[in-house]
Amino acid sequence: MTARIERPLSPHLQTYRWTLTMALSIVHRATGMALYFGTLLMVWWLIAASSGPAAYGVVQSFTASWIGRLIAFGYTWALMHHMLSGVRHLVWDLGYGFKPAEREWLTWAALIGGILLTVLLWIAAYAIGGGR
């Protein structure tokens, strides 16, 4: 009896026909990873707010810059998408939505909903904050 048994491996990604649910599964992970490192920005903002006007001014000049705004927009989308995509997973956890049409519908809803929520939030943010 050898210590290591050669077991059959399951086929990897390239073997399968590309599907929507598969792509969105990867996007769910990718947005999760992005949000993980994005918490550094949240902490920077909170620490700056507790440190004083000078530190907070640096955060504000960053969020007002085009790169800062792009990152904030990307962060909003990652959060909204990951949330809706996660709700889809909760639906599946409860045992619903596994039929082909249902799972396609759920996945499209998460994808479109995430983009829609992000755009709506940014429209609201510009309307309220005047672009700050």
Partner 1 sequence: MSAQPSPGPKSMRTPLSRVRYLGSSHSGTKDFWRQRLTAVAMILLIVPMILIVTMMLGRNQAGAAQILGSPLIAILMLMFIAASIWHMKIGMQVVIEDYVHDEKLKLVSIMANNFFSVAVALAAAYAIFKLSSGV
Q: Give the footprint of partner 1 on this chain (CB under 8 A).
A: 1-3, 5, 29, 32-33, 35-36, 39-40, 42-43, 46-50, 52-53, 55-57, 83, 86-87, 90, 93, 121, 124-125, 128-130, 132
**Residue 5 CB, nearest approach to partner 1 (Å):** 8
Instruction: List, as one string, the DSSP characters of 39-93.
Output: HHHHHHHHHHHHH-HHHHHHHHHHHHSHHHHHHHHHHHHHHHHHHHHHHHHHHHH
The residue (of 78 and 101) whose beta carbon lies closer to partner 1 is: 78
**Residue 78 CB, nearest approach to partner 1 (Å):** 12
Residue with tokens 């649910």: 21
